[in-house]
Amino acid sequence: MSMTFFESSSQMEQKKSTQKRNQLLNAALDVFSVYGFSGASLDEIAQLANMHKSNIFYYYENKESLYVEVLTTVLQKWLAPLQTLESELEPTEALTHYLIQKIESSRDQPKASRLFALEIIQGAPHILPILKGPLKKLFKRKTKVIQTWQEQGKLSAEVDPELLILNIWAITQNYADFSTQIEMVTGKTLRNRSMFQRTIEHTIHVMLYGVLPR
């Protein structure tokens, strides 16, 4: 019985530690997405995470390691939908699904998108190896998927595979990175159900009309 008790206690402690770590990462995302790496304060992050500043160093060596962890997590979530594009799929369905996922990400994770944009604007000093390595390899693999669809006659030969992916990123992430501007001129954000549906339908229509064979 005592062994079971200790195992349960250990599991509870591990669960509690994981919860605190996630709480810290969420607080860090909130602060970094507003102030960037240089302007963010560990004191403010600790306060938002409801923990003492010294507790941060239990999980991370310094401010930069925390920042990189947040960015890496953001990038993994951001790239997950792109992983689903495969040449075995029908391009209309695959691209439609990808566009919807990207717009959903802009609606549900705007802070993550803004943080990534801030890092890129500054020249990506903290994640340059990731951009040059894993991201570039994934990007090249997915452009080959688009090229395969073109060779099969399923997409227009006039489409530039690299620019298509870049355009999808630009269009969909615009709704997160420039949400204030969009709200000021339309009076709505993606949190508005009708605006969200309009955005999906319009984006799919514009993007697919431009890439399908005529």
- In the chain (214 residues long), the average pLDDT of successive 10-residue segments reads 54 74 95 94 95 93 96 90 94 96 94 93 93 95 97 94 96 94 95 96 90 80
Q: What is the DSSP letter of 40?
A: -
Of 152, 146, 151, 140, which Cα lies nearest the Cα of 210? 146
Q: What is the CATH number of the domain that holds 11?
A: 1.10.10.60
Nearest 5°: the CA angle 63, 64, 70 is 95
All residues at 6 or more sequence positions from 170 whose CB lies less than 8 Å from its CB, including other chains: none
Q: What pLDDT is attached to residue 151?
A: 96
Please indicate, yes or no, whether residues 174 and 206 belong to a single structural domain of this protein. Answer: yes
Question: What DSSP string describes 131-174?
Answer: IIIIIHHHHHHHHHHHHHHHHTTSS-TT--HHHHHHHHHHHHHH
Whole-number Å distance between alpha carbons of 67 and 118? 12
75 part of a folded domain? yes
Q: At 186, which helix (H) or strand (E)? A: helix 179-186
64 part of a folded domain? no
137 part of a folded domain? yes
Q: What pLDDT is attached to residue 120?
A: 93
Whole-number Å distance between alpha carbons of 210 and 214? 9
53 part of a folded domain? yes
38 part of a folded domain? yes
Give me the domain span that covers residue 202. Answer: 71-211
Q: What pLDDT is attached to residue 12?
A: 61
Q: What is the DSSP letter of 124?
A: -
140 part of a folded domain? yes
Please indicate, yes or no, whether residues 47 and 136 belong to a single structural domain of this protein. Answer: no
Please indicate, yes or no, whether residues 128 and 88 belong to a single structural domain of this protein. Answer: yes
Please indicate, yes or no, whether residues 5 and 51 belong to a single structural domain of this protein. Answer: yes
How many domains, the chain? 2
Please indicate, yes or no, whether residues 31 and 80 belong to a single structural domain of this protein. Answer: no
Please indicate, yes or no, whether residues 87 and 51 belong to a single structural domain of this protein. Answer: no
For residues 19-49, one letter each, b for 16 or more C-beta atoms within 10 angstroms of the residue's C-beta and e for the rest, the string is ebeeebbebbbbbbbeebbeebebebbbebb
Please indicate, yes or no, whether residues 43 and 116 belong to a single structural domain of this protein. Answer: no
Burial of 202 (0-12, 13-18, 19+ CB in 10 A): exposed
Q: What pLDDT is attached to residue 149?
A: 96
Please indicate, yes or no, whether residues 82 and 139 belong to a single structural domain of this protein. Answer: yes
Q: What pLDDT is attached to residue 87?
A: 94
Give the position of tokens 């570039």: 136
Q: What pLDDT is attached to residue 95?
A: 96
Please indicate, yes or no, whether residues 83 and 47 belong to a single structural domain of this protein. Answer: no
Q: What pLDDT is attached to residue 10?
A: 62
Q: What pLDDT is attached to residue 16?
A: 72
Please indicate, yes or no, whether residues 105 and 9 belong to a single structural domain of this protein. Answer: no
128 part of a folded domain? yes
Please indicate, yes or no, whether residues 109 and 205 belong to a single structural domain of this protein. Answer: yes
